[in-house]
Amino acid sequence: MADALNLDESSLRRWLDRRAAALAEPSTLGRPKVIPLEAARKIRKCYLDHFCQWGPQVLALWCKREKLGEWCASTIAALIDDLREDPVPAPVPVRYEITASQVMWSEDGTGFKENGRKKELLVLQDEHSRFKLNHRLTRGPACEEDVVAYVREAFDRYGAPLVLKHDGGSIFHGQAMVDLLAEYEVLDLTGPRAWPRYNGKKERSFRDVKSYARAMFRKGAGGTLCQRIDEAIDDLSYQRPRPMLAGRTACEAYTQDRIELPDRRQFRMEVEKEEQRGLDQARSRAERNRARRRAIEKVLLSYRFLEISGDVSRNCEAETATD
């Protein structure tokens, strides 16, 4: 190489050595430790004396007040990093699965637009089979009369479930709806406030209906919005084999997995007893608000109508499928 470059061999060797040394050194020296040792000890002691509750920004202000010096929060954060406690892990999400048809139904509404005008779709669904028991497309926002009418139609056609689940919308909790549930001896289950995942199967169902209806529109299938929704619900209930139902359609699962329900009055008494126990043991308003929901879940578990699993993954290779 030296001959090709017309260089002295010793000169080439020195250049290669210098180049190797330069590559071995880090490109940057990193942030220097600008906090003196004595000040660092005081900062760490202050952090521990306050039970690790003062954050870097608070400690930076404390250093300024104590005239130790002025440092940014990130510099102090690096100083106390080894003293910080590991964050409490978030609770593992769980999945509730109803084990038989007719035990629990769910209802909800979602908005559509046609020719610039808002319409609302109400859907009543069996929680076990995902079978759509009834639906109604209203002109404008739905009202309590619409809810009562389409729920009564489903009760008369399929029989009433043990539990009807919905969110806290006012149209689902009017006096006419309360009277209807009392007439058919159906327990009301209201999901947690601002927690739509509690009614996750219904939310997924609405997404599927909208996706199908929009696909029909994009492909030029024609028809009104009502006709597209009817076809989407027919596909989801009667035609589409579902992975979570072992390849059955929703209608087949609803028919095959339907069971004889327990005595409604006995079931209600057990729920009310558990609810009262929860109210007596409640230590906050939040616990009082969820006492009825927890009571219904506990009684359903005791009847083996409810299963709880920890796998909420959408991975198709997971042990428990969720779609």
Residues 154 and 234 in one domain: yes
Residues 78 and 102 in one domain: no
In a domain, 3, yes or no: no
276 and 238 belong to one structural domain? no
Residues 237 and 103 reside in one and the same domain: yes
Whether 293 is in a domain gets the answer: yes
Domain co-membership, 108 together with 250 = yes
Claim to verify: residue 234 and residue 103 sit in the same structural domain? yes
Residues 56 and 152 placed together within one structural domain of the fold:
no
The answer to whether residues 168 and 308 belong to one domain is: no
Residue 5 falls inside a structural domain = no
- Whether 277 and 251 map to the same domain: the answer is no
- pLDDT score of 89 more than 70: yes
Q: How far apart (Å, rounded) are the C-alpha atoms in residues 270 and 262? A: 12
At 321, is the pLDDT very low, low, confident or very high (cuts 50, 70, 90)? very low
75 and 201 together in one domain: no
Contact between residue 212 and residue 236 where contact means Cβ atoms under 8 Å apart = yes
In the chain, the number of structural domains is 3
221: Cβ contacts below 8 Å, ≥ 6 apart: 228
* pLDDT (tens digit per residue) in 274-285: 999 999 999 999
* CATH at 120: 3.30.420.10
H or E, element range at 39: helix 37-49
- Give the pLDDT of residue 323: 40
Instruction: Answer for the pair 215, 232: CB distance below 8 angstroms, yes or no.
Output: no
Domain match, 129 and 273 both: no
Render pLDDT for 138-185 as a digit per residue (tens, 0 to 9). 998 999 999 999 999 999 999 999 999 988 888 888 999 999 999 999
Global confidence as pTM: 0.72
SS3 188: strand
Residues forming a β-bridge with 112: 119
Please provide the average confidence, as pLDDT, over all residues in the chain.
88
Instruction: Say if 15 falls within a structural domain.
Output: no
In a domain, 22, yes or no: no
In a domain, 4, yes or no: no
- pLDDT tops 90 at residue 262: yes
Domain span at residue 50 reads 37-83
Q: What is the pLDDT of residue 20?
A: 79
60 lies in some domain: yes
Residue 271 sits in the same domain as residue 248: no
Residue 240 three-state SS = coil
